[in-house]
């Protein structure tokens, strides 16, 4: 009512009253504003240095009477101020005091109100575009796209397209992908609706991440020792042999030398990473072989050996515990992780590879006598001396043959020039959400011995389905089959020993089963004619194996920081070995009529492997300075069942009736056999990786494994690793311009090895019809159960360094490691009387240590020229620190039984290396008698040989072993040279023992046996006198020699046509090449190589177009 009355103006005075009110309001406003302005203009004189803001406000209040209103918490994070002013306004002084303090002020009468500056949140903006390869102009899926200083963002899809929302305050957008240079683009470039981004490839693409089969990890925070190899590098070393390429490019990995096997295409060599952790006390094969993982699924060594090298995208070799601990009880020998190529383009494309190859036998290591020399050697050996002259005619007949030019090259008879080839074809393409890849390969490999082969067939399907931006699935099926056949010509050494004056056939051009040394019917010196069986029978030895691998993997991206991966895999495989000996074989020449002749044996088996794993991955970035925490955890389960069988049939009527169905009976005491086994493993694992500002990083792995192979008292085993590192180059104080990367790593951990059959912890019985009673089968134990049998544990320690210098033109890697293996699993030899054939126990310990290095440098880097040299190598040594009494007894038996063998027995003794060579010390050949002088353990000299005097005289482990690679590129041309080297290791030269000194004079011998032996008193020679012939071979230290060797293994020249230059004939890319293999070998030791199967030199071509 009062308000209404106050405002109830009459019509006559409305104009006057409104003017009065307006005047009063304006007067009040100007009075208030003038008061505020007067306060702002009050003068202040102030001189302070690093004074608290609170004290500055107090001084201003004292000089001007203006009060300050604020919250004490508001000033807690402010910086001290330094001000020196005289008669300046409060306004100007406050501007100085609050500079960069994130505070603002406001005047109200004589009050100054201090408050926090409000941060204006810029609006989000959307950017989108497409990512292409600058060289090929092809889309790149999976590229990480994010704003600088953030962790979220997104990735490009299968068409290379991306679309993300970023803050309006973002300055740049970063694009990064494995194998490409990261690119930073200013936000202003995205004003258009869609932008095309071009990425350039880089040489060190695989250096960004490590793939361990469970997840990918940034190499900048990886503490493990890992060698990563990309597909191009593999193909430049070898276009067909995966093993050769891996060994050449990986320091610390080598193939176990078996020079007798030569170039046999059906021989699968053993791979070893960082030495041995197990003792092959009974000559077991593959005890120290690494674990093979292909696309996240465990595979066999044969699958890797027969794999199409063109299908490999990358290989990661995991060496120490920090890299392998997640594999737990299977990781002690290292892990080889292979990833097949993925579909990366939407358009339909085809890639074809054709590699023809020609091989020639390399017999240069064989230096045997010719016909004339051999006959003279026999005469000097007294083989034709007799009191009645009964050998004279034999000598004269041979002499006549020699004088007529009879010099028969037996070593050339089983040899051929072999032509092999490799075909592979891959087709890929896709639609909006589904991408597919189909690849196949076929190779026909022939060795240099007649009649053998190895055929490989492969077929793969790859379907990649992306349901949405968060969920994708990949289905892979790979089928592999290998058919192999051994040469019917048998062991090459059978031809080496044939006398060169002996013709291949008789006068009727027929191959005789036996060749006699004397013509008088005497059988002394009788030899089997190695040409008889391959020329007169259909005997064969062949095998067939097949595997089908199915793998469904998926990825669910929950949000920018968390995603889940997993896979389910199922693999079936089978193998069969057939061996037929014809009834016409020389083996049955002397068998009495009515006795079964001919033999057919079949052995084989099949396996089913079902497995799966799931891994959760959480990544969180703290701030924008490179601090990242990654936490991963998961579980895996694997179940494997295997079945084996064998059957032997004898008694075949004819040579051509060579199917086992034509066998008339089982051999005496023989019958079909079969066995089956099952094993289950389960594991839980976790990983924590923390990187602080990309400088200091920590990595922790932990796994618990459960296995049915362990004894019931030790079903579960823990394995772990702990590692740390320091990226020195990222420190602010580190300002060395020529150092681009300097990283130190240290790690330790525990891994294990389960290298025994699944039933070894259980007492196992064998059913046998020999023990049947009233149609009931009897059973006998064949293994002695050990409920305390546990995993073999290896404690692993590693110190490493990575460096890149001079704008990344020089890369250096170095690792030093120690491995201490406890509870070594050792096979026990039990007396036959207890009926147990096999038993194992944890009975030993061993130390293993060494170093490895890799140095790679760009010697020339210009626009059209690039030359890179890479040298890698290392050393590995070991010492047996503990052995059981049972193994010591086994050593004594092996040593006693080795007399007469070409090489000394492998012995294991505490304090010595597992690769030590045990011989009796020798003082050389006595010039007076031509006999060898031996040195006993007590240091006495004697002519009598005693195997108990053997000592560790040498070690086959070299002091340095590695490879040197040269890669020279000029425009489209590439010249690649691979060389390996070995220095300092010893070998027992069996050639000297069996072909020079302890020879059978009735067989051909090394030329040194004829020319370099002791002949008369006073001769100073390395070899005993010719009359000294006996069949008992003494293992002397004279045969231990230091082997220094340089081996030029491959030279390859290739040319890559420029993309698009052949578009008129339908080629998108084309690579052609020519390569030479096994070119030259320089060694300080002269010995026979390829005694069972010759080595070969070869050349090949490459024709690889992409359509």
Q: Both tokens of residue 598?
A: 């001919």
d(CA 171, CA 180): 22
pLDDT tier at 778, thresholds 50, 70, 90:
confident
* 3-state SS, residue 414: coil
Q: Both tokens of residue 165?
A: 């929302």
Mean pLDDT of 970-976: 92
Is the distance from CB of 796 to CB of 850 less than 8 angstroms?
no
Q: Both tokens of residue 326?
A: 């997640």
Could you report the per-residue pLDDT of 907-917, keeping only the tens digit for each? 888 889 999 99
d(CA 492, CA 267): 15
Give the gyration radius of the chain's Cα atoms: 40
Q: What b-and-e string marks burial along 805-817, b requiring 16 or more CB atoms within 10 Å of the CB? A: beeebbbbbbbbb
Q: What is the pLDDT of residue 631?
A: 95
pLDDT tier at 967, thresholds 50, 70, 90:
very high
Q: What is the pLDDT of residue 617?
A: 94
Could you list the beta-strand ranges (E) of 203-311: 209-211, 216-218, 226-230, 253-255, 271-273, 291-294, 297-299
Task: Give, for 520, the enclosing helix (H) or strand (E).
Answer: none
DSSP state, 1096? E
Is the distance from CB of 292 to CB of 268 less than 8 angstroms?
no
From residue 913, alpha-carbon distances to 877, 880, 881 in Å are: 7, 6, 9
User: 238, 243, 361: which is closest to 1102 by C-alpha?
Assistant: 238
From residue 1010, alpha-carbon distances to 373, 415, 848, 1007, 1089 in Å are: 7, 26, 44, 5, 20
pLDDT tier at 826, thresholds 50, 70, 90:
confident
pLDDT for 479 beyond 90: yes
Answer with the residue of higher pLDDT: 1013 or 178: 1013
Burial level of 863, CB count in 10 A (0-12/13-18/19+)? exposed
pLDDT tier at 828, thresholds 50, 70, 90:
low
Could you report the per-residue pLDDT of 104-121, keeping only the tens digit for each? 888 877 788 888 876 555
Highest mean pLDDT among 163-167, 884-888, 1074-1078: 1074-1078
Mean pLDDT of 944-961: 92
Could you list the beta-strand ranges (E) of 187-236: 195-199, 209-211, 216-218, 226-230
User: Cα 513 to the chain's mean position, in Å?
Assistant: 48
DSSP lists the bridge partners of residue 358 as: 419, 1099
CATH code given to domain 2-116: 3.55.50.30
Helix 14-40 vs helix 90-97: crossing angle, to nearest 10:
60
* 3-state SS, residue 833: helix
Q: What is the pLDDT of residue 835?
A: 59
* 3-state SS, residue 1010: helix
Least confident of 159-163, 894-898, 960-964, 1045-1049: 894-898
Could you report the per-residue pLDDT of 220-237, keeping only the tens digit for each? 899 999 999 998 899 989
CB-facing half-sphere around the CA of 1033: CA atoms within 13 A: 26
Number of C-beta neighbours around residue 860 at 10 A = 12
From residue 419, alpha-carbon distances to 416, 457, 463 in Å are: 9, 18, 36
Q: Both tokens of residue 221?
A: 């925070």
- The residue assigned the tokens 């009976």 is 665
User: 1013, 987, 1006: which is closest to 1083 by C-alpha?
Assistant: 987
Q: What are phi and psi of 244, to 5 degrees?
A: -60, -45
d(CA 73, CA 13): 56
User: Cα 374 to the chain's mean position, in Å?
Assistant: 48
Could you report the per-residue pLDDT of 620-671, keeping only the tens digit for each? 888 767 789 999 999 999 999 999 999 999 999 999 999 999 999 999 877 8
Is the distance from CB of 577 to CB of 603 less than 8 angstroms?
yes
Q: What is the pLDDT of residue 303?
A: 93
- The residue assigned the tokens 């490691």 is 817
Q: Are strands 291-294 and 335-340 parallel, antiparallel or unpaired?
A: parallel
Is the distance from CB of 998 to CB of 1030 less than 8 angstroms?
yes
pLDDT for 839 beyond 70: no
Mean pLDDT of 968-993: 92
Average pLDDT of the chain?
86
d(CA 942, CA 990): 23
Q: What is the pLDDT of residue 14?
A: 45
Task: Give, for 93, the enclosing helix (H) or strand (E).
Answer: helix 90-97
> Percent of the chain, pLDDT > 70?
89
Q: Both tokens of residue 55?
A: 């004290």
pLDDT tier at 273, thresholds 50, 70, 90:
very high
Burial level of 962, CB count in 10 A (0-12/13-18/19+)? buried
DSSP lists the bridge partners of residue 1040 as: 988
d(CA 310, CA 1105): 13
Answer with the residue of higher pLDDT: 1000 or 1064: 1000
d(CA 666, CA 660): 11
Is the distance from CB of 101 to CB of 123 less than 8 angstroms?
no
pLDDT tier at 36, thresholds 50, 70, 90:
very low
pLDDT for 290 beyond 80: yes
Mean pLDDT of 612-622: 91
User: 652, 656, 648: which is closest to 664 by C-alpha?
Assistant: 652
d(CA 457, CA 480): 6
Highest mean pLDDT among 27-36, 335-344, 750-759, 854-863: 854-863
pLDDT for 353 beyond 80: yes
DSSP state, 55? H
d(CA 769, CA 778): 7
User: 400, 422, 449: which is closest to 308 by C-alpha?
Assistant: 422
pLDDT for 21 beyond 60: no
Q: Are strands 124-133 and 161-167 parallel, antiparallel or unpaired?
A: antiparallel
CA angle 625, 631, 636 (to 5 degrees): 150
Could you report the per-residue pLDDT of 506-552, keeping only the tens digit for each? 989 999 999 999 988 888 888 999 999 999 999 999 999 999 999 99
Q: Are strands 960-970 and 973-988 parallel, antiparallel or unpaired?
A: antiparallel
Domain ranges of the chain: 2-116, 125-202
Q: Both tokens of residue 920?
A: 């009796």
- Long-range CB pairs of 114-120 (<8 Å, 24+ gap) are 114/57, 114/68, 114/69, 114/70, 114/74, 114/75, 115/70, 115/74, 116/74
pLDDT tier at 1038, thresholds 50, 70, 90:
very high
Answer with the residue of higher pLDDT: 44 or 967: 967
Hey, what CATH class is 125-202 in?
A: mainly beta
Task: Give, for 659, the enclosing helix (H) or strand (E).
Answer: none
Q: What is the pLDDT of residue 23?
A: 44
User: 310, 307, 308, 299: which is closest to 337 by C-alpha?
Assistant: 299
Q: Both tokens of residue 1086?
A: 């002269």
Q: Both tokens of residue 653?
A: 């009527």
Answer with the residue of higher pLDDT: 401 or 170: 401
Answer with the residue of higher pLDDT: 618 or 901: 618
Q: What are phi and psi of 91, to 5 degrees?
A: -55, -50
d(CA 192, CA 969): 40
Q: Both tokens of residue 425?
A: 């074809």
From residue 1065, alpha-carbon distances to 351, 426, 1055, 1056, 1068 in Å are: 15, 19, 18, 16, 9
């Amino acid at each position: 009512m009062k308000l209404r009355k106050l405002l109830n103006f009459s019509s006559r005075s409305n104009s006057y009253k409104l003017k009065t009110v307006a005047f009063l309001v304006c007067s009040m406003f100007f009075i208030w504003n003038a008061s505020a302005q007067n306060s702002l203009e009050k003068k202040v004189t102030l001189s302070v240095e690093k004074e608290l803001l609170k004290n500055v406000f107090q001084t201003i209040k004292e000089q001007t009477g203006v009060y300050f209103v604020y919250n004490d918490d508001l000033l807690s994070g402010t910086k001290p101020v330094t001000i020196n002013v005289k008669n300046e306004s409060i306004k100007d002084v406050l501007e100085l005091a609050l500079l960069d303090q994130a505070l603002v002020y406001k005047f109200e009468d004589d009050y100054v109100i201090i408050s926090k500056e409000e941060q204006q949140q810029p609006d989000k903006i959307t950017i989108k575009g497409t990512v292409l390869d600058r060289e090929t102009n092809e889309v790149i899926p999976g590229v990480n796209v994010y704003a600088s200083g953030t962790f979220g963002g997104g990735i490009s899809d299968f068409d290379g397209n991306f679309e993300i929302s970023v803050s309006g305050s973002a300055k740049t957008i970063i694009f990064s992908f494995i194998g490409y240079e990261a690119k930073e683009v200013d936000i202003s470039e995205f004003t258009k609706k869609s932008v095309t981004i071009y990425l350039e490839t880089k040489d060190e693409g695989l250096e960004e991440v490590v793939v361990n089969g469970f997840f990918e990890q940034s190499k900048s925070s990886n503490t493990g020792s890992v060698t990563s190899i990309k597909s191009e590098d593999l193909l430049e070393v070898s276009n067909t042999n995966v093993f050769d390429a891996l060994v050449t490019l990986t320091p610390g990995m080598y193939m176990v030398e078996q020079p007798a096997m030569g170039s046999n295409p059906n021989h699968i060599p053993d791979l070893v990473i960082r030495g041995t952790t197990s003792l092959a006390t009974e000559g077991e094969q593959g005890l120290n072989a690494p674990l093979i993982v292909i696309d996240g699924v465990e595979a066999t060594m044969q699958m890797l050996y027969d794999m199409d090298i063109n299908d490999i995208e990358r290989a990661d070799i995991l060496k120490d515990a920090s890299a392998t601990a997640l594999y737990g009880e299977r990781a002690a020998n290292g892990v080889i992780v292979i990833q097949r190529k993925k579909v990366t383009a939407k358009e339909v494309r085809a890639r074809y590879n054709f590699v023809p190859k020609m091989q020639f036998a390399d017999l240069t290591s064989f230096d045997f006598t010719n016909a004339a020399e051999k006959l003279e050697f026999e005469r000097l050996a007294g083989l034709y001396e007799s009191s009645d002259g009964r050998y004279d005619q034999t000598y004269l007949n041979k002499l006549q043959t020699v004088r007529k030019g009879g010099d028969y090259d037996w070593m050339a008879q089983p040899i051929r020039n072999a032509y092999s080839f490799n075909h592979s074809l891959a087709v890929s393409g896709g639609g909006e959400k589904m991408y597919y890849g189909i690849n196949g390969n076929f190779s026909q490999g022939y060795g240099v011995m007649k009649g053998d082969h190895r055929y490989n067939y492969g077929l793969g399907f790859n379907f990649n389905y992306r349901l949405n931006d968060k969920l994708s699935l990949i289905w892979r099926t790979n089928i592999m089959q290998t058919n192999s056949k051994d040469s019917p010509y048998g062991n090459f050494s059978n031809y080496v020993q044939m006398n060169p004056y002996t013709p291949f056939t008789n006068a009727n051009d027929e191959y005789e089963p036996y060749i006699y040394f004397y013509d008088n019917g005497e059988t002394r010196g009788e030899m089997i004619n190695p040409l008889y069986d391959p020329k007169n029978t259909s005997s064969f030895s062949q095998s067939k194996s097949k595997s089908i691998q199915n793998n469904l993997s998926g990825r669910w991206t929950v949000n920018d920081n968390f995603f889940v991966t997993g896979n389910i895999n199922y693999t079936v495989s089978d193998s069969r070995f057939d061996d037929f000996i014809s009834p016409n074989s020389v083996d049955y020449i002397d068998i009495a009529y009515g006795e079964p002749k001919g033999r057919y044996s079949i052995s084989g088996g099949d396996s089913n492997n079902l497995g799966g794993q799931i891994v959760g991955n959480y990544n969180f970035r703290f701030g924008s300075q490179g601090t990242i925490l990654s936490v991963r955890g998961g579980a895996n389960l694997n179940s494997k069942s295997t079945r084996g069988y064998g059957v032997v049939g004898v008694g075949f009527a004819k040579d051509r009736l060579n199917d086992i169905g034509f066998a008339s009976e089982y051999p005496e005491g023989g019958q079909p056999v079969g066995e089956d086994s099952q094993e289950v493993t389960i594991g839980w694992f976790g990983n924590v990786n923390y990187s602080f500002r990309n400088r200091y990083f920590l990595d922790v792995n932990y796994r618990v494994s459960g296995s049915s192979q362990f004894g019931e008292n030790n079903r579960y085993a823990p394995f772990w690793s702990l590692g740390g590192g320091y990226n020195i180059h990222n420190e602010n104080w580190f300002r060395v311009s020529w150092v681009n990367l300097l990283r130190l790593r240290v790690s330790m951990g525990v891994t294990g090895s389960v290298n025994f059959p699944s039933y070894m912890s259980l007492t196992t019985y064998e059913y046998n019809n020999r023990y049947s009673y009233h149609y009931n089968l009897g059973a006998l134990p064949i293994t002695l159960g050990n409920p305390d049998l546990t995993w073999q544990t290896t404690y692993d320690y590693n110190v490493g360094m990575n460096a890149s210098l001079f704008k990344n033109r020089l890369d250096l890697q170095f690792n030093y490691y120690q491995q201490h293996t406890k509870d070594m699993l050792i096979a026990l030899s039990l007396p036959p009387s207890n009926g147990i054939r096999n038993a194992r126990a944890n009975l030993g310990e061993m130390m293993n240590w060494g170093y490895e290095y890799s140095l790679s440098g760009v010697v020339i880097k210009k626009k059209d020229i690039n030359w890179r040299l890479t040298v890698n190598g290392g050393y590995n040594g070991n010492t047996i620190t503990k052995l059981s009494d049972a193994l010591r007894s086994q050593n004594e038996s092996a040593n006693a039984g080795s007399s007469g063998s070409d090489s000394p027995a492998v012995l294991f003794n505490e304090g010595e290396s597992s690769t030590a060579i045990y011989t009796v010390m020798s003082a050389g050949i006595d010039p007076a008698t031509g006999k060898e002088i031996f040195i006993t353990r007590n240091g006495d000299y004697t002519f009598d040989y005693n195997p108990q005097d053997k000592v560790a005289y040498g070690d086959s482990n070299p002091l340095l072993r590695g490879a040197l690679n040269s890669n020279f590129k000029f425009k489209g041309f590439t010249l690649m040279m691979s060389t390996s080297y070995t220095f300092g290791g010893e070998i027992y030269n069996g050639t000297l023992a069996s072909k020079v000194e302890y020879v059978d004079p009735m067989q051909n011998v090394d030329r040194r046996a004829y020319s370099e032996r002791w002949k008369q008193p006073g001769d100073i020679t390395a070899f005993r006198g010719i009359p000294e012939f006996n069949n008992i071979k003494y293992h002397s230290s004279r045969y231990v020699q230091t082997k220094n060797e340089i081996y030029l293994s491959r030279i390859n020249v290739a040319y890559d046509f420029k993309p698009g230059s052949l578009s008129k004939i339908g080629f998108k890319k084309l690579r052609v090449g020519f390569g030479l293999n096994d070119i030259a070998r320089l060694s300080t030791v002269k010995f026979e190589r390829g005694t069972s199967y010759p080595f070969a030199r070869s050349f090949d071509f490459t024709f690889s177009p992409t359509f």
